[in-house]
Structure 1
Amino acid sequence: MVADKRYSSKAAVSAKKKPAKKTPAKRKPVKRRGGILGFFSAVIRWILNLIWKIVSRVTLVIVLLLACAVGYFYTTLPPLDALLDGRARGSVTLLDRNGDVFAWRGDQFGGVVNASNVSPHLKNAVIATEDKRFYRHFGVSPRGIASAVRINLSEGRGPLSGHGGSTITQQVAKLLCLGEPYDPSSGQTEREYEADCRRSSLSRKAKEALYSMAMEVKYSKDDILSIYLNRAYMGGGAFGAEAAAQRFFGKPATALRPAEGAMLAGLLTAPTTLSPTNNLDRSQSRAATVVRLMEEQGYLTQAEAEDAIAHPAELSEAAEAEAGGYFADWVMSSGPEFFTRNTTEDVIIKTTLDQRIQKAAEAGLSWVFENKVREGSKAQAAVVVMSADGAVRAMVGGRKTKVAGAFNRATQAMRQTGSSFKPFIYAAALDLGYSPNDLIEDAPYCLNIPGSGQWCPKNYTKEFKGEVSLTTALKDSLNIPAVKVSESVGRDVVSQVATQFGIQSDLAVGPALALGVSESTLLEMTGAYAGILNGGSSVKPYGLIDLKLLGDSEPLMGTGGGIGERVIQEDAALQLVYMMEKVVSEGTGGRAQFGGRELAGKTGTTQANRDAWFIGFSAEYVAGVWMGYDDNTPLTGVSGGGLPTEIWKEVMERVHEGLPVRPLPMIIPAPAVTEVPVPAPQPQNPLSLIDQVLRDIFGGGSSSGGQDGDR
């Protein structure tokens, strides 16, 4: 029984330890649809599977090709610093005598700015206007491109014509010309090269997209925005935000207000058309649109936006005045070409310009034309104001003063000088020992001219005054005494004195030299009169004080003008000042008087009133005025003692505001009187008109100005 129990127990344990084996469950067979539906289902599944395999592999190949292309462009991208200044030329900044900027030339680059430190209002305005998803895309915005294509098609243009849908990154890619620098040896001009960079073909767009994505990999978003802010052209010759901020507002790009930042951002679409120096109202209107975009995108509160629209950006004083346009052109043309017109460096030129005097010259000229000249007149005028050492303080080359690159009548117009030449005759005589009180006969007088016959000058009034002093002859602008004195001292001596005083043009060789038949520029004539004021030394008019490269402390060159060698003795010059003072106080220049000051000068009118001059000086400044038509049309009722003298007076009165009254440096001559010896007059023999014309052509006769004095 024990055994039975033992065995039965083991059996029970064994039964517990060995569970019964489970048979594997049979897989339920997949039921396939039979018949025609099953066949088509299988075909569709096979096609979809094939399409998936093809698409996935093609996509993979495309992705790999794009990655290779982006990688290639990535390897060609230079360091960030190399991309911040993309100008082909340098700039020239012109400073006035006080060191203030008054004009710019060339491609202005104010310096590097970074998106991280530029005014946030400018940064936000650019993003709001140009690419509001800038920080969210990878260089290309499919949504922006699709929207641009839709707009172009709806407006009847091609899909790539008009709106481009370009991101800021793509615009930077265009500015960099997709990494293709300008090659002068290619035969393309710079203009053609830039046009090629802006092409909108499909292949160009594709390359632009790849280049943009490479930039997104290479640079940060702020780096790309920095390139844009430094390279974009913003009108007025300004490349980059810093140059534009200084050019238009006279402040750094870090300090721009919302209205100013909006104006600069608004220029990016059409920098020349919208430039505030071309059309401030249009620029302000565009800026208001930018301000509204900034408000819509949360960059400005409603109050800030309303304030920016109510107080739009205004031009700086220098930008608004554009002072010294003619003066700046003259300085640029007088300096070395490789540092001015063709500079590849940034150049700073300090000049002699006085902006207060420049404004006075412009205002005086404008006042006379507005109040004394008939409406619609095409007559022109020019003004030059300088110090006695030849430092030019103001220059107006025509009635339109806000210009650059225009014809400058003060420096480029060669015109006959008329009686304004006569002081050089008396300068030569005084230097030889003549006295202002010496007497000369104002009576009929003729000279035999070899090859031409007799020549008989006449006075403006066709009358004769008999015996007069040299001072009276000059103050009344008598022609016959002027010719007699010239013949007495010698034409060659007169020519030498005029040339040494600065009249560089060819002078007439006949006796009509005394009556101003030779041509000169207003700048030359004014400089020659400055030599009389300074005591008889020659003067070379100059506008450039020094020239240096941006960042350098030492100038590369200094002035090329100033006082030169002595021409006549100082006593002779001071006596001539006395004689010329009588022209203003008692003679033909009476309209020049103002403020109880001692003033000296000389009027000049050429034949048929084609040119009218007044050049004169106070103790402080010399000023010259020319008036006439560009095509030599005679002036109607205008002589040197008329409108030119009135312009001179209006200019100089403004110039001398606030200046103390100083006497002229002059010597009042002793009362001793001597008769001037002159060649004996020849019998009169009036000449035919043909003979007169021939003498005019060959320089032997009266020519323009030969018979005219001044009133």
Structure 2
Amino acid sequence: MSRNGKSRAPLVADKRTQRSAKTAAKPKSRRKSASRRKPARQRNGLFAKILGAFGDLLRFVLRIIWGLTWRGGVIVSLLIAMAVGYYATTLPEATALVDGRARGSVTLLDREGDVFAWRGDQFGGIVTAESVSPHLKHAVVATEDKRFYLHPGIDPRGIASAIKINLRAGRGPLSGNGGSTITQQTAKLLCLGDPYDPDAWESEAAYEADCRRTTLWRKAKEAVYAMAMEVRYTKNEVLTIYLNRAYLGAGTRGFEAAAQRYFGKSASEVGAAEAAMLAGLLKAPTTYAPTNNLERSRDRASIVIGLMNDQGYLSNDQAQIARTNPATLSKAAERRAGGYFADWVMESGPEFFTRDTTEDVIIQTTLDQAMQKAAEDAMKRIFEEKLKPGSEAQAAIVVMSADGAVRAMVGGRDTTVAGAFNRATMANRQPGSAFKPFIYAAALDLGLSPDDILDDSPLTLNIPGSGPWTPQNYDRKFRGPVTLTHALRDSLNIPAVRLSEKVGRETTRTVASMFGIESDLALGPALALGASESTLLEMTGAYAGILNGGSSVTPYGLIQLRLQGESEPLMDNSSGGIGERVIQRDAAEQLVWMMHKVVEEGTGQRARLPGREAAGKTGTTQAARDAWFIGFTADYVAGVWMGYDNNTPLTGVTGGGLPADIWREAMIGVHQDLPPTPLPMQGPAAPAYTAPAQTQSQGSSTYVGAESDGFGGTRRQPSRTAEEEVERVLIDMLEDLIRGN
């Protein structure tokens, strides 16, 4: 059929068959390649198996860890929950925790009823988060715990941030910033529920130091206790406890006490600037206390204002106003007056109502703040103007009324301290010639006159067991016959010793002790020269007895004592401190006249007051280790002591010098706006008849119209009436009895 004209296609393999063949040939090539790579595949498979086995092991370990972790976490969470629940059930009502002080407070009022000092742990009363000023509430939250209303008592973010800051600063993770919430701080203030036990702790300070310890275990307990508080109390109750228990410097516990202490107002009344200053105290109460350093406290307050602004509690304008008008201290806080006086009242008052009181006590005192300032300013002015820079000399001042009511007290050059050494009440120093008025008081009370004569000539006394003793005058001169007034006016030593021996040392000691000199008085003749030691308060009180007509006084500062919130006093001393009579009024008034001459004509002339009568006596001890001036007007008595604490002699200072200057400056301020009042004094009575002068010779001295006093001195002898003669005989008999004749 092929032959019929159509040729048939040759029997040739289809191209696809060829492609298939080519394609089929490729596997051979692959097989050859696979055959060549077979050892590497084996190696990879082995590695994969190892990795797989390690992965399986790792997953197994992780499953174990995860299993242990979540189970441990559950167990720990359950334990924490149980601890939180337990603590929560033991917590009392919030109101029972606001005042946890171990001791009470003492608020001291001046004579006008104004507060001038505080002692003990001050607690102004309960405030709540709702009753305090909103500015104060916001300042505390902004400063201490800005997420206070969001966390459950602990703030992990805050803790992490604090640890980061501490590590960057090179401190340990728990040193420095703690990241504690307000709730945690409150737990610490509560000492985790462990109350103060006086029998278990050496002191309250040791107890508080232990409560502030920072260890990992204690931080864990603190966190649990804080969460328990969040379960038991509302946020505002927690904040209320914190606001009442936080220590804010100057002995204040709680923001009400601090607001009263620093600003003289309630915590509900403080503005933004005052609130910022109070909140700033929480970081370091003593360091930032405005009574210690107002500018530093204001700088800290400015930072708090910035935090309040950043957190939306203050607008930009409000923040600017608060910075432009910073908080200022109240007058009482700014003055810090009467620290030495307050300490003395606390020491002299009943211990269970002052030093160790568990109650809040109000004490009204005799202090006059204007007089206190006058005394402080006088001392500062004289020291600044008349002492060389760097001098370590000290001074003390006491001002009192004639009945012993202390109006001002300065115990040293630093007038802003509390609890310091009080040189007015604690320093026993020799008064020197300031003691002499008590000798003259005894003599005048025995009937001698200011015009009676004493002998200022060399004197030697034989003292049993010590040998001869020869007193000398300050200028080592002798004046022969002098009146009592002259001897006191010029502070002559030899006549004073003669007079003391004449009236009897025991009589002198008795008069001095009855006037209030409680210290041990010397037994020898040096008693007349002030060789015994006494305090400035004792000496000033004794001079007050001279001013009031011869009756002893007990210096006092406490008028009334009552409990806070009570109107009836538990103690009342408004009757004054006048005691029994020591010398007759006439004798006292004659002594005042003689002491007036000391100021007008004698050693105390630098104490003269313009337009006002004054009387007083200077005193300078051996080697000028102590210098005194004590004197009075008709209204007030004041005493000034000056010296070194270590008994170093003063250079160029006597009682009639700088002490008299301080006294004058202080008394000018004390008497400001007071009308002049004459001193209660009387000079010697003029004789009714004077006999013709008779001249008697005794050695190199000539005595006119005088008789021997039996002690080497003389007594002026005016004509006497029969009654005076009888009186004189009786006096002479009394003197003989005193001398043992």
Q: Report TM bin, short chain.
A: 0.7 to 0.9
Alpha-carbon distance in 2 for matches of 1:41, 1:635:
92
Given the alignment, which residue of 606, 617, 620 partners 1:602?
Answer: 617
For 1:313 and 1:382, locate their aligned partners in 2 and report how far apart those are by CA, in whole Å. 34
Residue 75 of structure 1 pairs with residue 80 of structure 2: no
Matched, 1:454 2:468: yes
Residue identity matched to 1:120:
P
Partner of 1:21: none
User: Do the aligned partners of 1:459 and 1:479 also contact (CA within 8 Å) in 2?
Assistant: yes
Counterpart of 1:634, as a letter, is P
Residue 430 of structure 1 aligns to which amino acid in structure 2? L
Q: 2: CA distance between counterparts of 1:604 and 1:591?
A: 14
Aligned: 1:579 with 2:594: yes
Return closer, same or farther for 1:125/1:446 CA change in 2, 3 Å cut-off. Answer: same
Structure ranking higher on relative contact order (CA contacts 8 Å, 6+ apart): 1
CA contact (8 A) 1:385 1:624 kept: yes
How far has the Cα of 1:349 moved from its partner? Answer: 1.1
Q: Does 2:368 align with 1:354?
A: yes
- C-alpha distance in 1 between matches for 2:279 and 2:50: 68
Other-structure match for 1:376: 390
The counterpart of 1:99, out of the listed 106, 113, 133, is 113
Residues 46 and 439 of structure 1: CA distance in aligned 2, closer, same or farther (over 3 Å): closer
Q: Does 1:215 align with 2:217?
A: no
Q: Deviations over 1:506-534 (max 9, x none)?
A: 11122221111111111111000000000
**Do the aligned residues in 2 keep the contact of 1:437 with 1:671 (CA within 8 Å)?**
no
Question: In the superposition, relative to structure 1, how do residues 441 and 42 fare at CA in structure 2: closer, same or farther (>3 Å)?
Answer: closer
Is this contact kept in 1: 2:201–2:207, CA < 8 A?
A: no
- Tell me how far 1:215 sits from its aligned partner: 1.0
The CA distance in 2 between the partners of 1:156 and 1:563, in whole Å, is 67
Q: Cα distance 1:190–1:677, how it changes in 2: closer, same or farther (>3 A)?
A: same
Q: Contact 1:108–1:238 at 8 Å: present in 2 too?
A: yes
Tell me what 1:666 maps to: 681
1:29-178 equivalent positions in 2, closer than 5 A: 60-178=74-192
Matches within 5 A, 1:270-349: 270-349=284-363
Q: Distance in 2 between matches of 1:426 and 1:489?
A: 9
Deviation string for 1:681-707 (max 9, x for gaps)?
Answer: 59xxxxxxxxxxxxxxxxxxxxxxxxx
Within 5 Å, give how 1:259-274 maps onto structure 2.
259-274=273-288
**TM-score normalised to structure 2 length:** 0.84
User: Is residue 2:597 matched to residue 1:565?
Assistant: no
Cα displacement (A) at 1:429: 1.0
Cα distance in structure 1, aligned partners of 2:415 and 2:631: 22
CA distance in 1, matches of 2:648, 2:371: 31
Q: Distance in 2 between matches of 1:585 and 1:315?
A: 44
User: Which amino acid letter does the alignment assign opposite residue 616 of structure 2?
Assistant: G
Deviation at 1:603, TM superposition (A): 0.7
Aligned AA (2:475): T
Aligned to 2:738: none
Contact kept in structure 1, 2:107 and 2:361, CA below 8 Å: yes
- Contact residue 484 and residue 679 of structure 1 kept, 8 A: no
Residue of structure 2 aligned with 1:413, choices 427, 432, 435 = 427
Matching residue's letter, 1:630: D
Look up the match of 2:27.
Answer: none
2:659 is the counterpart of 1:644:
yes
Query: What is the distance in 2 between the residues matched to 1:516 and 1:536?
Result: 20
In 1, Cα distance between the equivalents of 2:348 and 2:555? Answer: 11
Cα distance, 1:66–1:445 mapped onto 2, change above 3 Å? closer
> Unmatched 5+ residue regions in structure 1?
1-34, 683-711
Does the C-alpha gap of structure 1 residues 441 and 64 become closer, same or farther in structure 2, counting only changes over 3 Å?
A: closer
Q: What is aligned with 1:633?
A: 648
- Alpha-carbon distance between aligned partners in 2 of 1:448 and 1:147, rounded to the nearest angstrom: 85
Corresponding residue for residue 630 of structure 2 = 615
1:632 Cα offset (Å): 1.4
Q: CA deviation at 1:56?
A: 6.2
> Aligned pair count?
648
Write out per-residue CA displacement over residues 386-416 of structure 1, whole angstroms, 9 at most, x where no aligned residue: 0000000001111111111111111111111
Where do 5+ consecutive residues of structure 2 fail to align? 1-48, 688-703, 714-741
Mapped contact 2:337–2:373 kept (Cα < 8 A): yes
Which has the greater radius of gyration?
2
Match of 2:562 in 1: 548
Specify the alignment match of 1:14 in structure 2: none
Root-mean-square deviation (CA, aligned residues, Å) is 2.5
The residue that corresponds to 1:397 in the other structure is 411
Match of 1:82, as an amino acid? Answer: A
Return the offset for 1:656: 0.8
> For the Cα contact (< 8 Å) 1:324–1:358, is it kept in 2?
yes
* Percent pairwise identity: 69
CA pair 423-49 structure 1, distance change in 2 beyond 3 A? closer
Q: 1:236 aligns with which of 250, 274, 277?
A: 250
Matched to 1:194, the amino acid is: E
Cα distance change of structure 1 residues 622 and 135 upon mapping to structure 2, 3 Å threshold: same
Deviation sequence 1:97-147 (CA, Å, 0-9, x none): 111111111111111100001011111000000011111111111111121
Residue 450 and residue 204 in structure 1: after superposition, are their counterparts in 2 closer, same or farther (change >3 A)?
closer
CA contact 1:236–1:272 (8 Å) conserved in 2: yes
Q: Is the 8 A contact 1:70 1:213 kept in 2?
A: yes
Separation (CA, whole Å) in 2 of partners of 1:155 and 1:625:
54
Q: TM-score, normalised by structure 1?
A: 0.87
Secondary structure (helix, strand or coil) at the match of 1:289 reads: helix
